[in-house]
Amino acid sequence: MYRHALVIGKFYPPHIGHHHLVRTAAQVADRVTVVVMASAAESIPLGRRVAWMRETHRADRGVTVTGIVCDAPMDFGSDAVWAAQVACMRAAVRTVTGIPVDAVVSSEKYGDELAQRFSATHVCVDVDRIAYPVSGTACRADLAGCWDHLDSPARAGLTTRIVVLGAESTGTTTVSRALAERYRARGGVWERTRWVPEYGRQATLDKLARMQDLDPAASMDDLTWTGDDFAYIAAEQTRLEEEAARTGSPVLVCDTDAVATTVWERRYLGPESRRAWTEVPGRDALYLVTDHVGVPFVQDGIRDGEHIRAEMTEWFVDMLTATGRSWVLLTGTLEERVRLGERVIDQALGLRMKFGTPLSAATPSGEVGGAADERFGQYT
């Protein structure tokens, strides 16, 4: 057993090969420090990659994950570049522990040189990618095709989240379900596209049922709401969304979300009540707003907002605008709304599934080479 093993990588994005490397290090060392190295050229922030790696390895004995931004160039033939890179690595390790590194665990040929610069032993793992034939390069080139090589934290973080919201009886459920079905019909990984229902509707039915257990004559008019009710609904909506994001395809379709719950809280309790906001997650999503115009109001037994549909549509739009969220208004027939929603999602997928190109290796002549596009990465 080694005392302290070091694993260096970009983890851009982290995949099963990376996790195999870290767990192998944990088998040969009492302590493992994983250093995530990111550069300004890359489109997944350092903090997200560190968080994903920490979540995946939180139960692995002795493993600590840290990170550092390093914009030094890539050049295996330059001693100065090596010194600059290693200085960042040492600085990152010092944020975790002062115990000297006595093993460098890698899946790369440069591991010998890196270990030498740490006066450590190089432990080489699966350099031929036999155990896990996957690479960060392949994941960035075809994220959907490599989706099953990612674990749940990375999938949740990289999923394109689509939220359909709107006033009562404007077709949010119908549109969101139809969009999810269109992606499932594409086959492959898309067959696992998840749809998250509106939890507030179920919460309303449950609340009414509890009242009717005590008083069979109780109706919707007897329901009273509190800020805590909306905070609970927002939290549960978020929990269902996160669960679905970890097990579905690269796109997740939600019939409302915790942000929308804040508007419903305003509708019932007024703008001064803001308990639901405490449960709104800090994550990116694209919002599709179902317009009330041209959609007849259908009473399903629990709706009571026909008279304020126009006002609520405005509330949703104004709230999304004020908070800097991206939204698109869906109008027209059902088919026109679904078709526009699909176009918007495809456009978003095209953007979100692209990655900033990592800094490339430089040849001895100073020209940029394409053979290695990872700077001190693993499973490249």
Give the separation between CA 165 and CA 7, rounded to whole angstroms: 44
Q: Give the separation between CA 198 and CA 341, rounded to whole angstroms.
A: 18
The reply to whether 175 and 285 lie within a common domain is: yes
Instruction: Check whether residue 114 and residue 256 sit in a common domain.
Output: no
Q: Are 35 and 87 in contact (CB under 8 A)?
A: no
User: For 371, which DSSP code?
Assistant: S
| Terminal alpha carbon distance of the chain | 27
Q: Do 179 and 80 share a structural domain?
A: no
Q: Which two tokens stand for residue 29?
A: 């060392």
CA distance 139 to 137: 5
- The CATH number assigned to the domain holding 53 equals 3.40.50.620
State residue 205 phi and psi, 5-degree precision: -65, -40
176 plus 285 within the same structural domain = yes
Name the one residue in this structure whose structure tokens are 């080694």: 2
Can you tell me the distance from the alpha carbon of 357 to that of 361, in angstroms, rounded to the nearest whole number? 12
d(CA 372, CA 231): 49
Q: Is residue 171 part of a domain?
A: yes
Q: What are the φ and ψ backbone dihedral angles of 123, each rounded to 5 degrees?
A: -105, 105
Q: Same domain for 128 and 77?
A: yes
| Residues 217 and 130 reside in one and the same domain | no
Residue at which a domain ends, from 93, 124, 143 = 143
Examine residue 153 and say whether the peptide bond preceding it is cis (omega within 30 degrees of 0): no
Within a domain: residue 306? yes
Find tokens 């600059």 and name the residue: 84
State how far the Cα of 310 lies from the Cα of 325, in Å rounded to an integer.
Answer: 20
What is d(CA 322, CA 301) in angstroms, rounded to the nearest whole number? 33
Q: Does some domain include residue 380?
A: no
- Of 101, 123, 143, the residue at which a domain comes to its end is 143
Walk along the chain (380 residues) and give the pLDDT tens digit of each residue.
999 999 999 999 999 999 999 999 999 999 999 999 999 999 999 999 999 999 999 999 999 999 999 999 888 889 999 999 999 999 999 999 999 999 999 998 889 999 999 999 999 998 888 888 899 999 999 999 999 999 999 999 999 999 999 999 899 999 999 999 999 999 999 999 999 999 998 998 888 889 889 998 888 888 889 999 999 999 999 999 999 999 999 999 999 999 999 999 999 999 999 999 999 998 899 999 999 998 988 877 667 777 889 999 999 999 999 999 999 999 999 999 999 999 999 999 999 999 998 876 443 433 333 334 444 555 44
Residue 369 has what pLDDT? 32
Beta bridge partners of 38: 69
Half-sphere CA count of 305, side-chain side, radius 13 A: 17
Sequence-separated (6 or more) residues with CB below 8 Å from residue 217: none
Please indicate, yes or no, whether residues 194 and 128 belong to a single structural domain of this protein. no
Regarding whether 104 and 28 lie in a shared domain, the answer is yes
Closest CA to 245 of 328, 154, 322, 166: 154
My answer on whether 186 and 134 are in the same domain is no
Q: Is 260 within 8 Å of 316 (Cβ atoms)? A: yes
The closest of 332, 333, 378, 330 to 358, measured between CA atoms, is 378
Show the DSSP H helices in the chain as ranges.
16-28, 46-57, 79-94, 111-117, 136-141, 152-158, 172-184, 199-214, 227-245, 258-269, 309-322, 334-352
CA atoms of 172 and 148, how far apart (whole Å)? 30
Examine residue 275 and state whether it is found in any structural domain, yes or no.
Answer: yes
Q: Which residues are 63's β-sheet partners?
A: 32
- The residue from 143, 171, 196 where one domain ends is 143
- pLDDT of 303 reads 74
Instruction: Determine contact, residues 277/262, Cβ cutoff 8 Å.
Output: yes
CATH code of the domain in which 325 resides:
3.40.50.300
Q: What is the pLDDT of residue 366?
A: 35
- Regarding whether 267 and 335 lie in a shared domain, the answer is yes
Residues 204 and 305 in one domain: yes
> What total of structural domains would you count in the chain?
2
DSSP 188: G
Answer yes or no: is 34 within a domain.
yes
DSSP 225-251: --HHHHHHHHHHHHHHHHHHHTTS-SE
370 is a domain residue = no
Task: Name the β-bridge partners of 165.
Answer: 289
Query: Domain of 122?
Result: 2-143
**One domain, residues 81 and 213:** no
Strand order in the sheet with 326-330: 194-196, 251-255, 160-166, 286-290, 326-330
Tokens 């869906």 locate to 330
Angle formed by the axes of helices 258-269 and 227-245, to 10°?
160
**pTM for the whole structure:** 0.89
